[in-house]
Amino acid sequence: MGGILLLEDGRSFEGEAFGARGSRVAEVVFNTAMTGYQEVLTDPSYREQIVVMTTSHVGNTGVNGEDPESEAIHVSGFVARRFSRLHSSHRATGGLEQALKRAGVPGLHGIDTRALVRHIRDKGAMKAVISTDGQSIEALGKLLDTWPGMEGRALAGEVCTPTPYVYHQPSAPRARVTVVDGGCKRNILRLLAEANCAVRVEPITASAADWMRDADLIFLSNGPGDPAALTGAIAELKQVVGAMPAVGICLGHQLLGLAIGSTTYKMPFGHRGANHPVKDHETGRVEITSQNHGFCVDRAGIEAAGGVVTHTNLNDGTVSGFRHDGLRVMGVQFHPEACPGPREASHLVLDRYLRFAGV
């Protein structure tokens, strides 16, 4: 059965349907990772996005119970040059198509993904509708008009944990860490546990008092949507800043930037993939990082607030990390916990963040 991806500027790509039958509207973005599609699918930061994989074959290793970064598939649609209906891996417990069907996520393959990615790169990420249920172009165009877009969307509250929970409680912890969940990936929690931290998870919708209770460090997670739309979380975070150490990654990094007085802006097509070079100005090292974001913190705003840019993306010069010693705030735009991606920056979670907090 055929399917179609219709972009808001009128360009369309036809291919073969895969996964669930249906039509979904979201922002279309591309991911440059060569592996790790299951982690991509289950990353809450991809809420309301149609993800195009630039690698040519996806699905060869099936799916398993070890690689998911959350309990659910969060993408709205999945696109590749070619999906494999057959899989071969000793770790596999099922196939990719069956996983997409269970999650109600439509997929599309057999299209020229190079042309699609070039189009997004040149024109920017945009609204799109993926359809595998035979709806007309006219009907799909009307669906496109109903979707509000990504700017101004406070999506983190939709994917965070509904209730607090304790993830790890060692007898003699190095530090007591509260992870503020705005779409937290599992490997963040695993790394903090590996560093012998007591880890408690609180929703991003909770209060600053809840976050700071019995904690040595506040750790703000990744998550989806527009950081500036999370006005409630920013107001609570302003009570944390200066009162105790706070660190963040991705969305958490953006929220910390907003809390100290900087601004954020939407990028043309964002950074998504496992091969983004970032320079650490504190060590002089260049690390290859995993990234997934469509918004960025303004450099001038960080510096005007008294902060220091600690990391720079070498592809486009955007801010990839900052620190404010006076307010005891530190964040990075990329994913030091990887999954998928290289683990070169995992030392941030395992050591530098904790030393920054004085533990």
Question: Hey, where are the domains in the chain?
Answer: 2-146, 156-356
User: Would you place residue 285 in the very low, low, confident or very high pLDDT band (cuts 50, 70, 90)?
Assistant: very high
Predicted confidence (pLDDT) at residue 21 exceeds the cutoff of 90 = yes
Closest by alpha carbon to 130, among 315, 3, 261? 3
Among the listed residues 184, 250, 296, 339, the single catalytic one is: 250
Task: Answer for the pair 332, 255: CB distance below 8 angstroms, yes or no.
Answer: no
Predicted confidence (pLDDT) at residue 5 exceeds the cutoff of 90 = yes
Angle (nearest 5°) at CA 132 between 126 and 135 = 85
Bridge partners (DSSP) listed for residue 251 = none
| pLDDT attached to residue 41 | 98
Single-letter amino acid code for the residue at 253: H
- Three-state secondary structure string covering 210-254: HHHCCCCEEEECCCCCCHHHCHHHHHHHHHHCCCCCEEEECHHHH
Predicted confidence (pLDDT) at residue 223 exceeds the cutoff of 90 = yes
Instruction: Give the integer Cα–Cα distance in Å for 230 and 224.
Output: 11
| pLDDT attached to residue 152 | 94
Q: How far is CA 104 from the centre of its chain?
A: 21
Q: How many CB atoms sit inside 10 A of residue 133's CB?
A: 12
Bridge partners (DSSP) listed for residue 200 = 166, 178
Counting Cα atoms < 13 Å in the Cβ hemisphere of 206 gives 25
Task: Answer for the pair 248, 219: CB distance below 8 angstroms, yes or no.
Answer: yes
Whether pTM exceeds 0.85: yes
| pLDDT attached to residue 315 | 96
User: Would you place residue 312 in the very low, low, confident or very high pLDDT band (cuts 50, 70, 90)?
Assistant: very high
Task: Answer for the pair 289, 345: CB distance below 8 angstroms, yes or no.
Answer: yes
Instruction: Give the integer Cα–Cα distance in Å for 191 and 108.
Output: 35
- Over range 321-343, report the average pLDDT: 95
| pLDDT attached to residue 357 | 82
| pLDDT attached to residue 66 | 95
- Over range 100-117, report the average pLDDT: 97
pLDDT in tens, 268-277: 999 999 999 9
CB proximity list for 14: less than 8 A, separation 6 or greater: 2, 3, 4, 111
> Is 335 annotated in the active site?
yes
| pLDDT attached to residue 1 | 78
Helix-, strand-, coil-residue percentages of the chain, each rounded to 5:
25, 35, 40
Among the listed residues 236, 311, 335, 339, the single catalytic one is: 335
> Is 337 annotated in the active site?
yes
CATH number of 156-356: 3.40.50.880
Residue 187 φ/ψ, nearest 5 degrees = -70, -20
Fold equal for 2-146 and 156-356:
no
| pLDDT attached to residue 358 | 81
Domain 2-146 architecture:
3-Layer(bba) Sandwich (3.50)
| pLDDT attached to residue 96 | 98
Among the listed residues 109, 276, 337, 339, the single catalytic one is: 337
Instruction: Give the integer Cα–Cα distance in Å for 221 and 304.
Output: 25
